[in-house]
Amino acid sequence: MTLDRFYPIFDDVSWLVRMLPLGVKLVQLRIKDQPESVIRTQIRTAVDLCRSHGAVLVVNDHWQIAIDEGCDWLHLGQEDLDEADLPAVQKAGLRLGLSTHDDAELDRALALDPAYIALGPVYPTILKKMKWHQQGLPKVTEWKARVGSVPLVGIGGMSVERAPGVLEAGADIVSVVTDITLNDDPEARVRQWIEVTR
């Protein structure tokens, strides 16, 4: 299946309620620092919402809940990879997206037959403190040459204005967080994203 080129990430299912009706077709739910019962309820709700809107739901990190709730997609960061039961993930048929930042991480990710590879941060990001500064567009082009047919996701410091350049550099998909969630009019911003990526 071909994934949509616009890939927003939200930290609460309430965002999905607002954004899926606008035509979002690929979305990640990344919930941090919540009790397991809350995470489970949110993922369960997100599964139903995405199915009813014909959207792909990617669950960040919570691999066991993703398996329990019959999810199809999982995203793991490099630290999450150390803790996840990868044989269980594969046995459950979950398609895996993986974060990468350097050569060693890319090699590790490619060995796991990922459904997509994410490279970040392409631009400086305010979302989380990272030891990697901006990777830049030439790195996007290099990574795409190395991953071949595996879809490449550009993430980090993304905006509607930057998206075309990232796609031209070789990314198949552009992932975004704060450009939407911190916008004064998130709905209008999502409509702009859909327009620029499709």
**Which domains are delineated in the chain?**
6-197 (3.20.20.70)
What burial class does residue 21 get, using C-beta atoms within 10 Å of its C-beta: 0-12 exposed, 13-18 middle, 19+ buried?
exposed
pLDDT digits (tens, 9 = 90+) for 7-42: 999 999 999 999 999 999 999 999 999 999 999 999
pLDDT digits (tens, 9 = 90+) for 122-146: 998 776 666 667 899 999 999 999 9
Q: Looking at residue 130, what is its pLDDT?
A: 61
153-to-3, 21, 135, 174 alpha-carbon distances in Å: 10, 23, 13, 6
Rg over CA atoms, the chain: 16
N-terminal to C-terminal alpha carbon distance within the chain = 16
Task: For residue 155, give the nearest of 138, 176, 171 by alpha carbon.
Answer: 176
